[in-house]
Amino acid sequence: MNAPERLFAPPAALDRAVFAARRRALADIVGTEGAVILPANREQPRNRDVHFPFRQDSDFWYLTGFPEPDAIAVFLPGREAGELVLFVRPRDPEREIWDGRRHGTEGAREHFGADEAHTLDAFDAQLPGLLAGRRNVHVQLGDRPELDARITACVQRMREMSRRGPAAPEALLGLDASLHELRLIKSAAEVAHMRFAARVSAAAHIAAMRAVAPGVQEWQLAAEIHAVLARHDMEPGYGSIVAAGANACVLHYVENRAEVGTDDLVLIDAGGEYHGYTADITRTFPAGGRYGAEQAAVYDIVLAAQQAAIDTVRAGTPVADMHEAATRVLTQGMVDLGWLSGDVDGLIEQGEQRRYFMHGTGHWLGMDVHDVGRYRVDGDSRPFAAGMVTTVEPGLYVPPDDERVDARWRGIGIRIEDDVLVTDGEPDVLTGDVPKTREAVEALIASARG
């Protein structure tokens, strides 16, 4: 039997030099008076004796590339004895028979660029010496309360003894202004990974569109998506949403258990993750092959709003302009359809559009589907910059029991979402391979049916 073929060639893997360059960039921000402490993710139990598939913490992986759970990284810019110290699980031949090989301290140094490596049980004893003379400690407080307590206890002990020894850290700082700002701007290697994830995810959406028909189950369409991802060494970057009919009015619908009706629209929000980088695509298409009159009217408004928003994704433009552009088009559309009544500016000022458009127009995308990075700087909407990647995803949703509009509109939920790379020129739509005009969507479905 021949193995299923990849549709696309994968990008070059990220090597040790990539992670080292990231640490050098972080050192420029943190400075030699700072330290960064990052924990790896832990394995999460699924049910008795079974764990969910392990996925590394994005911050930890970004800085180290180390793939195992439970580890702790301490990054010390300018330290003469070595800047990256990793605390890892010890080698354990018996556990490795059951759970797989471990890198151990030797592997952490040899394969992942650690200047110094210890087993996890040495962390509390080693930490005071590592933090001695460091003014600031950058951590993500609240994510791991048990580790937070150990760090704060260490700092407190150091302060109590600082009169007789090296200076203790003065402040615990978050990662938003350091590591997360670095993650917001994607390198060429990261863009290559995201472009690959986007192309494969687009092919997965096309497969689902080709498979749609009245009577199919939502989970069967999800299976079409996931099969394409798996053939490319990918997995879903988040819980796939396959929502038929009024289910599309539930923004984070993940049951995926209903049957698709003849006159239903099907909203699929799904994206694959490739080696830590995810895509995020939404399309809404007709199970019967053609949009009904009311569905078409709403769809065209959402598509126009998305295009207006995409046009704002340019270096130097405030991020808030994207949402404002989409909101204006959607609100005018709601007035034209008779869902709202009044002046568009006044309706937006009063928030009336949120009856049927209740979410933002986009979010940062990268290693996390809702990626890190601030949207406002010094109280103002930050400007887009080359290397940022954002989703653009306006939508309109009329709950099936909403009596404020005519019955013919009820139960319609439509969202259109693409991933857009900010460049020094035109917006680069990474997910543009998936049809989204009504004519193109209908033609694709028709071609699949002969």
415 is catalytic: yes
From the candidates 417, 418, 419, 442, which is the catalytic residue?
417
269 is catalytic: yes
138 is catalytic: no
From the candidates 415, 418, 419, 442, which is the catalytic residue?
415
From the candidates 102, 363, 410, 438, which is the catalytic residue?
363
Rounded CA separation 148/166 (Å): 22
116 is catalytic: no
From the candidates 134, 226, 397, 418, which is the catalytic residue?
397
From the candidates 16, 101, 157, 370, which is the catalytic residue?
370
417 is catalytic: yes
363 is catalytic: yes
Q: Rounded to the nearest 10 degrees, what angle do helices 438-448 and 188-211 cross at? A: 60
| Burial classification of residue 430, based on how many CB atoms lie within 10 Å of its CB (0-12 exposed, 13-18 middle, 19 or more buried) | buried
51 is catalytic: no
From the candidates 48, 163, 164, 252, which is the catalytic residue?
252
Rounded CA separation 380/275 (Å): 34
- Whose tokens are 């952490």? That residue is 108
232 is catalytic: no
Type of residue numbered 223: A
359 is catalytic: yes
From the candidates 68, 224, 264, 280, which is the catalytic residue?
280
From the candidates 83, 218, 224, 269, which is the catalytic residue?
269
**381 to each of 257, 307, 324, 377, 424, how far by Cα in Å?**
40, 21, 12, 6, 19
Q: Are 279 and 419 in contact (CB under 8 A)?
A: yes
280 is catalytic: yes
From the candidates 49, 80, 349, 403, which is the catalytic residue?
49
* Of 2, 7, 408, 358, residue with least CA distance to 207: 7
From the candidates 275, 359, 410, 438, which is the catalytic residue?
359
From the candidates 393, 418, 419, 442, which is the catalytic residue?
393
- Active site positions, annotated: 49, 252, 269, 280, 359, 363, 370, 393, 397, 415, 417
